[in-house]
Structures are given as structure tokens and as C-alpha cells.
Amino acid sequence: MIDDRTNAYENSIDEKWIALACHRRFGIGADGMIFLQQGDDGADFFMKYYNSDGRPSTFCGNGGRCLVAFAGSLGIHHGHCRFQATDGWHTGELLTDGQVRITMKDVNTIDVIDKNSFTLNTGSPHYVTFLHNLHQLDVFKEGKAIRNSFLFKEEGINVNFVEEVAPGEISIRTYERGVEDETFACGTGVVAAALAASFHSANNIDSWQVHAQGGDLRVDFQKDGFQQYSSIWLTGPAEEVFKGELPV
């Protein structure tokens, strides 16, 4: 994450530089790069997100939560903020227990691929499929095949493999486009999985515990109709790992 409220950095770099900085052997290593930029229309800030391949992308849920924490550390807000991203407005909050939560865009459509597989957009496009023995799955192989299949190859899609653990509780593993590999926690994917799980199980549970490779998250929402979900909140931890300088 880079404080770029003066727009000095983004205008000085290109996709190649971002990809190098995100490289896990020749750079810092990351699943993406986020610029915190000056907000418009009363927004506390604007979130600009790039995938690790250097290309601009849509919204990143966990990145958004981390950016809310980052903005708080810079004194931009004091526990509550409203910010803009490529998919629109979001609200962010720093909770007293150290957790960070943000609102996500409303979802009005869940497309059914088959009885266990669905697609939906939660700020980024997601494919969600339900299965058993999630821990034994070759996520790279299976996720890559779906992401590059005829239906999704042109635009790309994030692929989420989900196993229902108990009512209101699921486990998830995600193949992320742009990263082109398994990522340990994808916020928009976690939200997509929770909404798809609610739809798939046809229950009235509106708070889901989600176990990702990188940690646990919670998704809360209001179900307004057959496929309509609003007041969606993504909650989880956000911890600073390090800070430093990188030459442009």
C-alpha cells in the first residue's frame, strides 16, 4: 500500500514496475499493489488497485480492509470512513477488538451454472463451486482450467472452491485471476462464497464464518429477495507486516 494522495507515484511507474515490486523473488512480494489517493465528492480517500501482474483490476475486499487500517494510521480518519473504489462507495470501520470491516457492493444476481456452481459479482467476478475434501484439491490445476475455459477466458474470473462445514460456516480456497495462482484469502471471493452458500443451502442464515488459508473472516448481509443481498459487511483482521522504501 502506497500513500499517493499527491499522485506522485502512480504517474511515475508502469505495469512492469508494479509486477516487479510484487514479485516474490525479485521484489517485495505481494498479491497486489494499492494506491491510497485523494478522494472526491466527500470521500476520505480513493482506492486504486493493481493485481500482481501489474494490471489495474477491480475491487479487492481484503485490500480494502487493509487500506482502511492504513488510512487510520495516517490520521485520515479516526475509526470510521467512507471511501471510493472502482466499484463505487464503501464504508470502513476500525473495531475495538482490532478487527476491520467494510461494506461491499449489493448483489442482485446469482447465475446458476449447475446445481453446485454459480457466478456472481461482488466487486470482482467470481465462480463459486461446492465440493467435498477441499484440502485434497489441486487448486492451481482446477482453478486455472476453469479460469481459462471458453466461458471465462476473455475477461477472466476468480475461482472459489467451497466446502460447507456446518450451518453458517464454510471453508474456501481461491484461484485468483491476475495472480494466476492460489491466493490465501480473497475478500470479494469470501463474500461471493458466503452469498452463494446462502443461496445454495436455501437457509435464512445471514452471518457466515469463512475459513480461508490465510485466516478467518465473517460475512454479514441482509437478504432482500430471491437473489438480492444488501448491507453486506466483510470483517476480519488487518495487521501491518512492515514498512519501508522502494526506489521508483
Radius of gyration of the chain (CA): 18
User: Given 22, 66, 81, 186, which residue is catalytic?
Assistant: 186
CB atoms inside a 10 Å sphere around CB 95: 10
Among the options 22, 60, 66, 81, which is catalytic? 60
> Could you tell me whether strands 99-104 and 45-51 are parallel, antiparallel, or unpaired per DSSP bridges?
unpaired
Going by C-beta distance under 8 Å and a sequence separation of 6 or more, which residues neighbour residue 165? 171, 211
**Cβ neighbours for 65, distance < 8 A, ≥ 6 positions apart:** 92, 100, 101, 102, 187, 234, 236, 238
Distance, in Å, from the CA atom of 242 to the CA atom of 54, rounded to the nearest integer, reads 21
Active site residue 81: no
C-alpha cell at 82: 467512507
Q: Which residues are catalytic?
A: 60, 186
